[in-house]
Amino acid sequence: MVDERRDVQFPLWRKKVDGSLFQHAMTVIPDWVKHGVFDIEDVFQESSKKHPSSRVTVEFIDDKKSTFHEGWVTTTKFGEKWAAKRNPVMRFAFDNELKTKLQNKFTMSHMRDLERRMRQCKVSEIEAEIPFYEFLDIEWDKDNRKFIFRPHYIQAPIYEKLFTQLQSKHVLERIENEIEGATKGKISKGDWKEKSEIHKEINTENVIYTLVDMENSEIYVGEAKNLANRFKQSRHEIPGWTHYRVDQLPPDFDDKMRVTLERMMIRSLASLLNSSVGIDSMQISDFTLTNKRVDK
């Protein structure tokens, strides 16, 4: 049971999580929210995302941590005679980084929507067959032109360990790309994680990984055919690493291509950070690149 929030500061819309958030990185704002809750009918009049007045900030708060994202609110007005009785439609869109965060947070809803899209069935059909709801709280901070996202209710995965593995291997992202027909050459980008989570990567393959030591301001880039096998060995170049991130390459990237990408990333970082390999660097940070092998 989820307790009702006591920290609501602004007008709030408790939105049922649906596939439009995951597939299109947007949602339609219903008339009752547009008029009665947010009172934003006159605030967002433009139909183009490029218009300055359409731009907003979106703050995503999860586990008391905030990230900030780009958003756009547009209004489509129907001037044709055949659509004279249609009300204007207000759409709220946001960047792909936030879309990915929502996919990872609301895993059960995301998986159900992937099932619907693969079957090509109606939303009502899949929700009747797999009945549950998750909710996202959306607040509107008028003075700062900012929407605030907070996950309110999350359906617990049935097979928690399996779901963790699916997320760590970016399986759902790959299925998403296959449905959209965009698998070839598609790299799955990972977020920063703490060292304690590395055990979840037991089956993660064909990757470029980055390690950082936040205590000693060090960074290291490597590649691996299998991440678990690579981390059975100690990383003497950066023994005190505290965080990591992983970019998983698609199956059509072979070993040679993976190594080539790794070499390019290392060389690029060497030209930006301190290192001990004699590369002319802009030294834009206090961090030191600890890779010993760098292409000249």
Q: 291 and 272 in contact (C-beta within 8 Å)?
A: no
pLDDT at 215: 95
pLDDT at 185: 61
pLDDT at 209: 95
pLDDT at 204: 80
pLDDT at 182: 56
- pTM of the shown model: 0.62
Token pair of 251, please?
A: 């199956």
pLDDT at 3: 74
Q: Which residues of the chain have pLDDT under 50?
A: 82
Q: Vertex 145, ends 142 and 151: CA angle to 5°? A: 85
pLDDT at 89: 92
Q: Which CATH class is domain 182-289?
A: alpha beta
Residues 208-237: pLDDT tens digits? 999 999 999 999 999 998 887 787 777 889
Residues 64-73: pLDDT tens digits? 899 999 999 9
pLDDT at 251: 78
pLDDT at 85: 65
pLDDT at 196: 87
CATH 3.40.1440 range(s) for the chain read 182-289
